[in-house]
Amino acid sequence: MDDAAIGIGERAHPVDAQALGVRPEVRDALANASFKALDTGDGCLAWCRGSDDETHVMISANNELDGDPRAAEWIVGCYGDAGGFVEVSGLTLEQAIEGAALLRAPVRADGSVIEALYPTLEQALDDLA
């Protein structure tokens, strides 16, 4: 994953989650799922994992790296490196990590690019089907 492709402002760059005070429970769960902490370059912080299908998945607690892992304040999104996105909000950290494994490129079966926010993971997956 090219960090420069992430974010719409300046270039994205890695940040030290421990130095930023992210609780170990959150850091460990996301590191174990192969996510890295990033400043996206547009004023937001997120956990990011690249893919070999020209997408990347990001997880945040309302644009922050840390939050209550049990609270439904987490967002997961799959972003096409060339455009399009699918985001689901209102998740716990565990649900966001599970969602990251299920979301795929933001393109419908007919080839149209998706740019949408969904209230549930199920709705997002239905639109991707």
Return the structure tokens found at 40: 């996206």
Q: At a CB cut-off of 8 Å and minimum separation 6, what does 93 contact?
A: 26, 29, 30, 59, 61, 67, 69, 70, 74
Annotated domain spans of the chain: 3-128
- Residue range 46-102, pLDDT digits in tens: 999 998 888 999 999 999 999 999 999 999 999 998 889 999 999 999 999 999 999
Instruction: Give 21-49 pLDDT, tens digit per residue.
Output: 999 999 999 999 999 999 988 789 999 99
What percent of the chain has pLDDT above 70? 92
Mean pLDDT of 91-119: 94
Outline where 9-129 has alpha helix (H): 24-32, 93-102, 121-128
